[in-house]
Amino acid sequence: MEKTIYWQKISETSGFSRMIDQTVIPEEFKTVDIKSSDDMYDAIKTMIVRGAPAIGIAGAHGVVLSAIENKEASDYKTFLSEIEKQAEYINSSRPTAVNLKWAIDNQLEIIRKNSDKTNEEIIELLVQNAIRLEDEDIRINKKIGEYGSSVVPKGATIMTHCNAGALATVGWGTALGVVRSAWEKDKTIKVFADETRPRQQGARLTTYELTRDGIDTTLITDGMGAYFMNKGMIDVVITGADRIALNGDSANKIGTYMVAIAAKYHNVPFYIAAPKSTIDPNIKSGKEIVIELRNKEEVTMINGKPVCTDKVNVINPGFDVTPASLITGIITEYGIFKPDEIYKLFE
């Protein structure tokens, strides 16, 4: 699959962000070019780009765009403070996935460390760093895939939730990176993907990218996981994460918690696959994770048509937190950790 998001260079100090438009898959497959930092906020907010590592890269591109917009700033202090303001705005687009803040901070650090350089020179460094982060994302996902494939038994059926695939990253994927790496070694593995209401990332995106690769994929609705676990038809569950606390509690797409409870009950191993950048060293437990609340139309409408009366109350949290006690292991680019040992990555 082509890169989900990348910096399209025009020169060393100019260019734009090109991304696959994830709101139109599977009906259509097209890219969108984002040429301003305000448009980057909108692209993340409206989920043209989504998935924790992919929105991290989008944030890094947003900082470059903001720097280009401020290249005529008369002094370094103004240049930095204007970009910091816009970076904070972009970061507010989606509050749960920590990768967004991580990548934005990584870019701001470049600006702060180079106060002796011209605006133009700093922009060049920001472009280089954004491209480095893109390349690193794929390299990290391949490592996650390599480590993770060891937990996939021969001929296994893997259940996954939401989309933690190539589309949620620059390429290869985290949870689906594990699927891809396992599939390279064993063509008999299968995937059960649940729909993932309300935005159907499982149905629209996961089945799209896996079937494109020729991987045997079955779509189920969100309520079916426990049924298939009870029948002995799921061997392992692997999902991604948006933010992991130091105690191993992991936020991921709403519904993940319920899948993890069902997996525990049926003795099915439940793994999270995520890069170190998804772990938030500033929070001790999942209780501190801010959960994004999204609009009610995502729940009340399907394909633009209402599925319920407009008299009903609706609440639409985008994520939930799976407690560490339900997680068998966290697969990272540094190896597989017991959730209560994940803090060791920061020692």
Query: Hey, which residues are catalytic here?
Result: 242
Minimum distance of ligand MRU from residue 319's CB (angstroms)? 6
Chain residues binding ligand MRU by CB under 6 A are 50-53, 97, 162, 164, 168-169, 174, 201, 239-242, 252-253, 318
For residue 45, the minimal CB distance to ligand MRU (Å) is 11
Q: How far apart are CA 229 and CA 150, in angstroms?
A: 21
Of the CA atoms within 13 Å of residue 141, those in its CB half-sphere come to 27
Distance in Å, CB of 324 to ligand MRU, minimum: 17
Nearest distance from residue 255's CB to ligand MRU, in Å? 9
For tokens 């705005």, the residue is 89
- Give the nearer residue to ligand MRU in terms of CB position, either 18 or 199: 199
- CB contact at 8 A, 85 and 53: no
Point out the residue whose Cβ comes nearest to ligand MRU: 240
**277, 240 contact by CB (below 8 A):** no
Question: Alpha helices of 149-250 — where are they, by DSSP H?
Answer: 175-185, 201, 207-212, 225-230
Nearer to ligand MRU, 123 or 162 (CB): 162
| Cα three-residue angle 238-26-181, rounded to 5 degrees | 35
Q: Residue 302, SS3?
A: strand
Residue 5 dihedral angles phi and psi, to the nearest 5°: -150, 135
Using CA atoms, how far apart are residues 262 and 114, in angstroms rounded to an integer? Answer: 51
Nearer to ligand MRU, 83 or 241 (CB): 241
Q: How far is the CB of 64 from ligand MRU (least distance, A)?
A: 21
Residue 72: CB minimum distance to ligand MRU, A? 35
User: What's the chain's Rg over C-alpha atoms?
Assistant: 20
Omega within 30 of 0 (cis) for the link into 198:
yes
**Strand boundaries in the chain, DSSP class E:** 5-11, 14-20, 31-34, 157-160, 190-194, 216-220, 236-239, 243-244, 250-253, 270-273, 301-302, 305-306, 319-322, 329-332, 335-337
Residue with Cβ nearer ligand MRU (240 or 286)? 240
Decide if 41 contacts 62 (C-beta within 8 A): yes
